[in-house]
């Protein structure tokens, strides 16, 4: 993971950001890059810093765009950890789950054999997706993974089977980074297209 930890220096006015809070490129906390538990810790912290002049508060001051945590951004969820309420903006995990559902479903409905137009369309989608994904640190890593100089991670767009497998490997790359269990890609179609046999 490429990000470096933010300086932990503390002044009289500011405390270091809670572990796991990722800053956006404008220096403000990035909700879609941060887990809900870290976000809650940040909210509590900023409530306890009730100075009227908040120009040095962690919500506005950091110039270093990086996070206070090292990898992973999202620790594995446990029963005692909070989850995002359904009517609130997504955290990094909820956004991720919804996005993987979209991506694997796109692979599941991709043509068995894709013509050049279909391949170009998907190539274009992946190019813009990997630039515009709302968790920017996730997006940066994903782009770098796809653009590996050896070419080994280039999207495989010839048809459904190879594209589904490629997407599974892309997801496993993130699983590994986050310390999650890898998925056995032989079963991606059961998981995302056909359903499991009884």
Sites of contact with ligand FAD (CB under 6 A): 72-74, 92-93, 96-97, 99-100, 104, 133, 137-138, 141-142, 168, 171-172, 174-175, 178, 180, 183, 188, 191
Q: How would you class 192 by CB atoms within 10 Å of its CB: exposed for 0-12, middle for 13-18, buried for 19 or more? A: buried
Select 23 or 73, whichever has its Cβ closest to ligand FAD: 73
Select 106 or 174, whichever has its Cβ closest to ligand FAD: 174
Select 1 or 14, whichever has its Cβ closest to ligand FAD: 1
The stretches of the chain forming alpha helices (DSSP H) are 36-48, 92-108, 116-132, 136-146, 160-177, 188-189
Least spacing, CB of residue 9 vs ligand FAD, in Å: 25
Least spacing, CB of residue 5 vs ligand FAD, in Å: 15
Q: How would you class 92 by CB atoms within 10 Å of its CB: exposed for 0-12, middle for 13-18, buried for 19 or more? A: buried
Least spacing, CB of residue 176 vs ligand FAD, in Å: 10
Question: Would you state the structure tokens that stand for residue 150, as one six-digit string?
Answer: 């050896």
Select 69 or 119, whichever has its Cβ closest to ligand FAD: 69
Query: CA nearest 33: which of 110, 128, 117, 136?
Result: 136
CA–CA gap between residue 156 and residue 153 (Å, rounded): 8
Using CB positions, name the residue nearest to ligand FAD.
Answer: 96
């Amino acid at each position: 993971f490429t990000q470096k930890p933010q300086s932990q220096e503390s002044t009289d006015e500011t405390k270091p950001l809670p572990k796991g809070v990722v800053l956006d490129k404008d220096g403000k906390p990035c909700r879609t890059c941060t887990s809900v538990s870290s976000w809650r810790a940040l909210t509590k912290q900023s409530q306890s810093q009730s100075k009227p002049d908040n120009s040095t508060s962690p919500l506005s001051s950091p110039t270093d765009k990086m996070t206070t945590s090292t990898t992973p951004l999202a620790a594995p969820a446990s029963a005692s950890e909070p989850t995002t309420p359904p009517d609130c903006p997504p955290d990094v995990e909820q956004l991720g789950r919804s996005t993987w559902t979209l991506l694997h479903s796109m692979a599941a409905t991709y043509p068995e054999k894709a013509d050049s137009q279909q391949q170009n369309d998907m190539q274009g989608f992946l190019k813009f997706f990997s630039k515009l994904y709302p968790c920017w640190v996730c997006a940066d890593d994903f782009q770098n993974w796809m653009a590996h100089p050896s070419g080994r991670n280039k999207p495989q767009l010839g048809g459904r089977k190879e594209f589904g497998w490629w997407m599974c490997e892309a997801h496993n790359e993130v699983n590994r980074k986050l310390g999650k269990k890898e998925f056995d890609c032989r079963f991606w179609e059961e998981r995302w297209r056909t359903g499991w046999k009884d």
